[in-house]
Amino acid sequence: MAEAAASDTPTAVPGRRWAALSRRLDPVHPVLLGVGAAVQVVAIALAAPGLAVAGLAVGSLADLAAGDGSGTWAGRLRRAGLGVVPRTSLRLAWLLAALAVTGLTAAQALAFGAGVAAIVLGARVVQVSLARVVDRQPPTGVRHLGAGLDLAGFHPRVAWWRLILITLLAALELPLALGAWLLVVGPVTVGWALVLMAVLVPVAAALAAAVWSQRFLASDRVPRYREELSRELATLDTEVIVYFTGDADATYQLDQWLPVFDQLDPLPLLVLREATHLKQMRPSRLPVLLARRHADVEQVLNADPAVALYVGNAGRNIHLWRYGHIRHVFLNHGDSDKVSSANPVVKVYDELYVAGQVAVDRYAAAGVDLPAERFTIVGRPQLDRLLTDRQRHGDGPPTLLYAPTWEGYFAAADYSSVAPMGVELVRHVLTHHPEIRLVFKPHPLSGFVRKDAARATTEITRMLRAAGAPHVVAADHPELDLLAWFDRSDVLLADISAVVTDFLQTDKPYLVTNPRGLERATFDQRFPSHRAAYVVDPDLDELSHHLDAAFGDDPLAEQRAEMKRAVLGEHPDGPLATFEAALAASVARSRADAVRISNTFAYDERAEEPT
């Protein structure tokens, strides 16, 4: 197998046009598969093998177009056990049923069966052979790390070729089907030639893949790559790593911190445990190490880190926690009165960087007992870029940013207003406040758990697009992130979330929803960071009054300024400078603490563990 040019990222694989075609055809992929299947069933009933071949062609060509597997439906079918090879087998079985009605000779049936077996078994051998190579992927340097090494971008390309070769082999069902039909209706010679091709090509591909993979695995390329990458890591000019792991939908947690990390000097090393985040994360200057397996995390030690930063709590964090000479610092991916901002799991960290004193008090109120020296107040360094003193970019009508949170994984963490009151809230603003421009930017996971939240998100989007300018659906402007919309708005409408905390930096007024209809005293006691908000109850009775106040004389301005100091702290040189100083202190303390370690109780603390 020929190797493409080296790349510094595992996502840079060949076939971008094929992938683009797959995504465009994704909505109609299951429709085409269904049409093809229906045609074949009808063909069996009518004893029409030619029609069965046509139905098979529809399904086969649909699978071929979706061959790189990047489409949503292709992934769903694969996870359901209906990958491209099982679908091919099913279509060929239906074709055989249609041909049997017309009468195949024993030799023709045997040849057809040999073709089916060759395609299915050949695809299986290719899959297993190349999977053995992919599974041997070592900890990999990507994006500004290891670009000049032998195996840079190699394993992702092999993974891509595995998908493509399996799809191409499965597509041999077309010449096999046509050949089998021609054996019945003629010309027989052409039919035999097509059937023979369908038998020989998969056998040759399987042999080539098996031999190539065995030669690769027997070579020293992977151990040599590990050694070369270790040497490169040892030369990195950094003492800080950022460790991130999580589900595919958690990349946004990392994204909000990347602009901060990109401003650090020297740049920290980003350690990712899942390759999916590489495709989704925002552009960054950070060198990236992909460490998929537990044992791969040990490669990090070659960079001799003093501090590890964590933006979220995840089970696989434990794979780095076990190194006691590293100082483990929790940043979190937002600061709010949600239950996730008072999670007792944080007790495992050596230090917690929090936005302000309110966060420290929150942990104490939740019964999470931590000594004061475990907390360091750094503000929210990503907010350095925001306009303050109620300034905004651009002209235009008064602008209200509706940025609700998502519904959470469980009821106690569901602070979202989208399902219970979002549609009526937006309708109220559109109807009673035509002078206001409404911008809708929901949480990336809005509707992920609750279907009614997904429906409400869709309906609000439809309403605003139907209303037209000046109203805006933020998804129509992907180049603008949440902070950019802060700078383009006058007032925020949000739920209990870190969105409100961050908006405090702007000095602008905000409304906060109360979808459970709590009494105001209870609301203030439970969510102390939001006491300076105009609170919107489910009945919306006071919504117009609150909007007039927020866009008008703003009687809560002074109270909000006090809340800003309590929630975000005071930073004369800006929160980024505070963050940099805190990080330098953590590095110094880590180096000092490491001196006290006299025994690691390991044979070799950098020995590779068995996988």
Q: How far apart are CA 569 and CA 377, in angstroms?
A: 7
Residues in the chain, total? 611
Half-sphere exposure of 581 (CA within 13 A, CB side): 12
Six token digits for residue 593: 């603490």
Domains of the chain as residue ranges with CATH: 16-218 (no CATH), 236-379 (3.40.50.2000), 387-568 (3.40.50.2000)
Six token digits for residue 288: 């990236």
Q: How far apart are CA 180 and CA 473, in angstroms?
A: 54
**pLDDT number for residue 168:** 86
Q: Which amino acid is at 422?
A: G
**Contact of 350 with 371, CB cutoff 8 Å:** no
**pLDDT number for residue 19:** 64
- Token pair 């901002």: residue: 341
Alpha-carbon torsion, ordered 278, 280, 284, 288, to 10 deg: -20
Q: How far apart are CA 312 and CA 310, in angstroms?
A: 6
Q: How far apart are CA 345 and CA 349, in angstroms?
A: 8
**pLDDT number for residue 523:** 93
Q: 580-603: b or e for each residue (b if 16 or more CB lie within 10 Å)?
A: bebbeebbeebeeeeeeeeeeeee
DSSP secondary-structure letter at 173?
Answer: H
Q: How far apart are CA 575 and CA 376, in angstroms?
A: 12
Asked if the peptide bond before residue 538 counts as cis, ω within 30 degrees of 0, the response is no
Q: What is the pTM of this model?
A: 0.80
Q: Which long-range contacts (CB under 8 A, 24 or more apart) does 102-107 make?
A: 102/47, 102/49, 102/184, 103/184, 104/180, 104/183, 104/184
What DSSP string describes 39-99?
Answer: HHHHHHHHT-HHHHHHHHHHHHHHHHHTTTS-SHHHHHHHHTT--HHHHHHHHHHHHHHHH
Q: Which amino acid is at 167?
A: T
Residue 466's H or E segment, with its range, is helix 451-467
CA distances from 557 to 485, 509, 554, 592, 603 (A): 21, 7, 6, 45, 61
**pLDDT number for residue 609:** 45
**Contact of 450 with 407, CB cutoff 8 Å:** yes
Q: Which amino acid is at 173?
A: E
Q: Mapping DSSP to helix (H, G, I), strand (E, B) and coil, where does residue 578 land? A: helix
Q: How far apart are CA 340 and CA 232, in angstroms?
A: 38
Mean pLDDT by 10 residues, the chain (611 residues): 37 55 74 88 86 86 69 71 81 83 76 88 94 91 88 87 86 87 86 93 96 96 93 94 93 94 96 92 94 92 95 94 94 86 92 95 92 95 89 90 92 90 97 96 90 95 96 95 95 94 95 95 90 95 96 95 93 94 97 87 57 41
Six token digits for residue 108: 């023709």
**Contact of 63 with 167, CB cutoff 8 Å:** yes
Q: How far apart are CA 400 and CA 510, in angstroms?
A: 9
**pLDDT number for residue 607:** 45
Pairing label, strands 491-494, 472-473 = unpaired
* Nearest alpha carbon to residue 380 among 232, 270, 529, 517: 529
Phi first, then psi, for residue 399 (nearest 5°) are -120, 130
Q: How far apart are CA 199 and CA 87, in angstroms?
A: 18
Q: Which residues pair with 43 in a beta bridge?
A: none
Phi first, then psi, for residue 570 (nearest 5°) are -115, 130
> Measured in whole angstroms, how far is the alpha carbon of residue 184 from the centre of its chain?
51
Q: How far apart are CA 134 and CA 157, in angstroms?
A: 9
**pLDDT number for residue 5:** 33
Alpha-carbon torsion, ordered 47, 48, 53, 54, to 10 deg: -130
CA distances from 333 to 254, 327, 426 (A): 7, 19, 28
